[in-house]
Amino acid sequence: MTLERVVFGQVTILDLVVAAGILLAGIILAKALQIYLRRSLSERLRRDHVQLISKIVYYTTSVVSILVVLSVLGFDPSGLLVAGGIAGIVFGFASQSIVANLMSGLFLLFERPVKIGEQVNIGEVSGFVEDINILSTTIRRYDGLYVRIPNEKVFTADITNFVSHVVRRFEYVVGIRYSDNADEAIRIIHRVIDNEPFALKRPEPQVFVDNLGDNSVNLVVRIWAPVSEWYTLKMRLLWILKQSLEAEGIEIAFPQRVIWYGSGGKREEHPEEDRDSLGKPARRNQGQSA
Amino acid sequence: MFGLHKFPVRINRDGLSITLEKLDQHCLYRRESSDGVVEKILLEAPKEIVLQPVEPLNQPSRITPYLLIEFATTVIVPPRGEQFVFLRFPVEIGVFLPRKEQFDLLETISLSRKKFSLYGTPREGHVTRYWNTPVATAAPKTDPLYEGVLKLEIHNDAGEWLPVKRAVFDANGMRIFYKKNLVAAQARMTIVSDRKAETEFINAPLEKGMESSIELFKPGKLVVTTARYYMGEGI
């Protein structure tokens, strides 16, 4: 019988066929379980939890299949411990970076500084975490590019998680003219913020005169928003603020320079010109004065 | 306005316009309100639509199941006391398509002011729908398209007079009841200490003859929780 023919040791072709069948069945079973878990848990658990559970089940099933195959082929899995120890030393020297990535990946899976779907900055890469694998983490950058970062780098890099907390703050600087009433501008800005659903009531928004700039009175506007909504709100609100201020006669200042022309080295007195168009006391430009 | 409306539908009230009419072979749903215009084409004309008050947590988008009601006037609760006060809560209008004994949501409409707030800290707190309400000792008259009446029982288990400025609720399990001119709900707040309390909705109508609304917020099948909210960041 062909199937009874010994290939090596006591392993026959039949054993090889059975082992291949078990391995194939194990891989199919692992994949099927992974797909089933992803489908059945996707609406009940968070995406990153589903990914973690399905990966654990997949790798566990695969390892069990491999151990069964080894036993069918006559290998004693306990021997792997000894062989693995020696091979591990050799293999470890040869693949330090792979092992470092593997260990970092395991630590990342348990420490979980980032989760799948979150917006993060790792080193110099910002974007959405697409997947966290054993050896690497994949990021979808905001411009849509795929970036694979080895887990060792992820583990040692500075990580900023943009969505770890439920709310976050953003800020504008609004410069108004010196001739405008800053109290009135603050009142208008507060009213606009109050009308925005996602500009949170608490923590309270802050609007105040931050500094007296060269060309404008600078108001700082600080607003808290839910992390899921802050960027949309930030993109939209500044223009609304500008329109609302202008509708009530408060202009956004822009850089201006008043040039004084004199004669005979003496400054001519022009009382109505002592203030510039921003309402601010004008400064003489030495280089331009005659 | 709440209840069943036969096809074709034409509703006009307080700046809210809802029409459901034949459009060639299909059917056009159109809603106009202060939030803008929404149009949807239904490929088959329904026999009717149902309007009901729903949890006020769907507009502008569903980002939280928590509702924070802040009292315009602080309430001081006596030790070991059981008191009740009447508050107001925002109402949203659910437009449903009936299907046998079930209802499919077509859309939600909010006519009342929409505002959100944080309860707790940015790290461990919750984003909540925010509503400021006067406190009354009798049920106030409200426009049911905008506001509902919330009867809040306050149990003070602490041994001292305690001020209460707010109550936070989990909308999973919020039971709203309605009749022609009234939308109402009942809730309970148990004060544990000067900073901690527990809240939950009560599944009972405020008055006789009120119908129960359809719940849009329901706990998930695997989530073993009650509809209670633990207020650990101040009351």
pLDDT tens per residue across span B166-196: 999 999 889 999 998 999 999 999 999 999 9
More confident site: A37 or A263:
A37
Q: Is the pLDDT of residue A77 over 90?
A: no
Segment A123-155, tens digit of pLDDT: 999 999 998 888 889 999 999 999 999 998 998
Does the distance separating the beta carbons of B221 and A44 come in below 8 Å?
yes
Compute the distance between CA of residue A193 and CA of residue B88 in angstroms, rounded to an integer: 24
Work out the pLDDT band at A83, boundaries 50, 70, 90: low
A167 CB neighbours in chain B (<8 A) are 118, 122, 125, 127
Whether B60 contacts chain A with CB within 8 A: yes
State phi, psi for A63 to the nearest 5 degrees.
-65, -40
Contacts of B61 by beta carbon, 8 Å cutoff, 6+ apart? A229
B115 closest CB neighbour out of A165, A201, A229: A201
The mean per-residue pLDDT over the stretch B131-136 comes to 97
A83's tokens: 């062989």
Query: What ipTM score was computed for the predicted complex, to two decimals?
Result: 0.91
Average pLDDT over chain B, rounded to an integer? 92
DSSP sequence for A163-229: TSSSEEEEEEEEEE-TTS-HHHHHHHHHHHHHT-TTS-SSSPPEEEEEEE-SSSEEEEEEEEEETTT
Identify the CA nearest to B64 among candidates B221, B172, B183: B172
Burial of A245 (0-12, 13-18, 19+ CB in 10 A): buried
What local confidence, expressed as pLDDT, does residue A285 receive?
43
Segment A27-70, tens digit of pLDDT: 899 888 888 888 887 766 767 777 778 888 888 888 888 888 88
Report the residue of chain A nearest B129, measured CA to CA.
A197
A79's tokens: 């021997």
Q: Is the pTM of this model over 0.80?
A: no
Work out the pLDDT band at A108, boundaries 50, 70, 90: confident
Whether A170 contacts chain B with CB within 8 A: no
The angle formed by the CA atoms of residues A100, A102 and A104, to the nearest 5 degrees, is 65
Does the distance separating the beta carbons of B118 and A203 come in below 8 Å?
yes
A190 CB neighbours in chain B (<8 A) are none
Segment A167-203, tens digit of pLDDT: 999 999 999 999 999 999 999 999 999 999 999 999 9
Q: Is the pLDDT of residue B222 over 80?
A: no
Give the mutation candidate from B69, B121, B127, B221 for the A interface (greatest A CB count, under 10 A): B127
Share of chain A above pLDDT 70, in %: 83
Average pLDDT over chain A, rounded to an integer? 84
Segment A198-252, tens digit of pLDDT: 999 999 999 999 999 999 999 999 999 999 999 999 999 999 999 999 999 999 9
A159's tokens: 């990580």
B11's tokens: 């509703």
Report the residue of chain A nearest B64, measured CA to CA.
A226
What local confidence, expressed as pLDDT, does residue B94 receive?
96
Identify the CA nearest to B59 among candidates B88, B104, B95: B95
The mean per-residue pLDDT over the stretch B113-142 comes to 96
What local confidence, expressed as pLDDT, does residue B117 receive?
98
